[in-house]
Each structure stands twice: as structure tokens, then as C-alpha cells.
Amino acid sequence: MELTPTAKIRSRTQSPSSILLYKQCPRKYYYRYIKKLPTSPSIHLVRGSIAHQVMEDIYAVNLNHIPESQFLITLKVIIQEMFKKEWDAAAEQFAELNMSAEELAQYRAETQTMMHNFFHYLVDRLKLTGKPLKEAFASEQPEREVRLQSDHHGVMGYADAIQQEGSKILILDYKTSKKAEITDDYRLQLSIYGMLYEELAKLPDDVGIFFLKHGRELRIPMTPLMASRAKEEVAAVHDGTRSREIDDYPKKPSYLCKWSTGQCDFYNECFGQKSLNDFRSELVQIGKK
């Protein structure tokens, strides 16, 4: 539809998350960022925030007074204690989820395993420096929660970690995903970080993800082509999100709308009280068309 002057707006500053959401479903983007409807609390968001906080704060701990022989066990205990503190501090958020005690305990144990995996990942990185571990911990720390912003491209994001590896730069994201796989969405997110860092300093050498659940890091070389495609994706989302009219944000039905144990925050806005079976039947019809 052609926009009237009153319907045109300046596109908001995008983030990797908002860009991926728009690509997943423009209507969901509309409800989240244009209409600003509330979203439901999620155990995955809460526990992800807890894990990220521990992984960021651990580097601020001063371990200079710890003997080298006690460094590893001390570091491990501190990570465990920080995790417990952050988990307990989120009690009110957990209460809003209406989860059973058994479910919550399962997620706690799973997240605790993620922190255990991060500890081993951190130690392995320290060993790669060839320095004594305590010295390496103090001198080889990554930049954390780095704000990367481009006014020119109208996009801003936070990189979990930017690591100097000799003369090379690695931008790393932490994920609590079930699968250790760099999907197309993850590749785009990493490409956007690389594009933003190039504008700030230079094109990073590698971008990657540490999958906490699996204790595994995957990385890919950051190429000029990836940066170019990231710019194209950002521009396309800006072009598609200048309107405030709901009709300019079409639905993109998929199994991400509703599943056996839950549904999209905006499912009722899109489909009313339609049951899971009715929704699946509609997807089948859409597929046939």
C-alpha cells in the first residue's frame, strides 16, 4: 500500500534480535516493536540472563592473592557461588513462570551444567596462552558486553565477548541453544556484529558461538561478503518497517506460532482461540497453496 504522510515514520534503530524477528514474522515484529504489546516471561530468557551475568562478572573478580596452585579450584568455586547468587536473586521472576518445583530444579541443574562447561572452556582458553593460569586470567580478558552501533546503518547490538588472539580478533556470542549449530539466523547475527565492528575498527577475523549446553565453540571466518549481505539485510528491514499500518506487516504462519506446550506471545491476536489441531490444519492448507 502507498503510505500517506501521516503513516510514514522514521524506521527505528534495529538490533540483531529485531531483524531476526522481522524475518521470522513481520506481524510478530509489528506487535512487539510497533504496537509494543507485552510479552510473557520465559524460563529461557531468565536463565540466559543469569548465565550471561555470571560469565561477564567472573572477569571482574580479583584473584591476584590466590596461590597459583589453588587458582583452578578457587575459580570453579567462585563461578558456582556467583551462579547460586544470581539464581536466588531471580526468585520473583521464577515465581511469575508458574513452574513446578521439579521443572525449576531441572532447569537449574541444566544451567549449572552450562556454567560447568563455561569453566572448562575458560580454562582451556587460558592454557592456550602459554602463561601461568593466574597471569593469563588477569591479562588475557576479553572485552565484554561490547556495544556496537552504526548510526549510518541504523543498527545496534551487544557482543558478548570480543577476544584478541595474537593479531586476530574473534567476536563471540554465548548461546543456551539445544543444538550446537550455526544456523542461518545465527550466521546473520554474527555477520551484523562483524559489520558493526568493521565500521568501528576493522573486519574481525572470526565470529563464533560458544554453545553452553554442549560446551562447544564453533566459529567461522568473517568475510567481506558476509558484511555486505548483513548491510543488505539491515537495509531491507528498515525499508519494511517504516509503516505503522498493520497491513504492511503480513503474518508468516509456521509451527513457531503454536506448539504442544506453548504458543507465540501474539498467537491470540493473530488466530484467536483456534486450537492446535485447527491451526495445524490451516498450516497444511497454506502449504498446499
The residue among 213, 238, 263 that closes a domain is 238
* Residue 54 forms part of a structural domain: yes
Using a 10 angstrom Cβ sphere, with 0-12 exposed, 13-18 middle and 19 or more buried, the burial of residue 16 is: buried
Q: Please state the domain count of the chain.
A: 3
The residue among 110, 139, 168 that closes a domain is 139
269 and 225 housed in the same domain: no
173 and 108 housed in the same domain: no
- Nearest alpha carbon to residue 22 among 274, 229, 251, 198: 251
pTM higher than 0.85:
yes
* Residue 25 forms part of a structural domain: no
pLDDT score, position 279: 63
pLDDT score, position 193: 98
> What whole-number distance in Å separates Cα of residue 45 and Cα of residue 76?
24
pLDDT score, position 8: 43
Contact 6, 21 (CB under 8 A): no
* Residue 13 forms part of a structural domain: no
> What whole-number distance in Å separates Cα of residue 161 and Cα of residue 142?
6
135 and 178 housed in the same domain: no
- Nearest alpha carbon to residue 69 among 116, 139, 132: 132
How many CB atoms sit inside 10 A of residue 234's CB? 22
132 and 147 housed in the same domain: no
* Residue 103 forms part of a structural domain: yes
Instruction: Please list the ranges in the chain whose pLDDT falls under 70.
Output: 1-11, 274-289
> How far, in Å, are 106, 136, 274 from residue 265 at the CA level?
24, 45, 14
154 and 89 housed in the same domain: no
Q: Is 170 helix (H, G, I), strand (E, B) or coil?
A: strand
135 and 180 housed in the same domain: no
pLDDT score, position 5: 39
130 and 155 housed in the same domain: no
- Nearest alpha carbon to residue 249 among 9, 18, 70, 34: 34
CATH number of the domain that residue 186 is part of: 3.90.320.10
Contact 252, 24 (CB under 8 A): yes
Grid cell in block for residue 187:
550466521
**Residue with grid cell 580479583, as numbered in its chain:** 62
133 and 160 housed in the same domain: no
Grid cell in block for residue 248:
504492511
* Residue 212 forms part of a structural domain: yes
Contact 138, 103 (CB under 8 A): no
Residue range of the domain that includes 100:
43-139
* Residue 14 forms part of a structural domain: no
Which phi and psi (to 5°) does residue 230 adopt? -60, -40
* Residue 215 forms part of a structural domain: yes
* Residue 33 forms part of a structural domain: no
The residue among 108, 139, 170 that closes a domain is 139
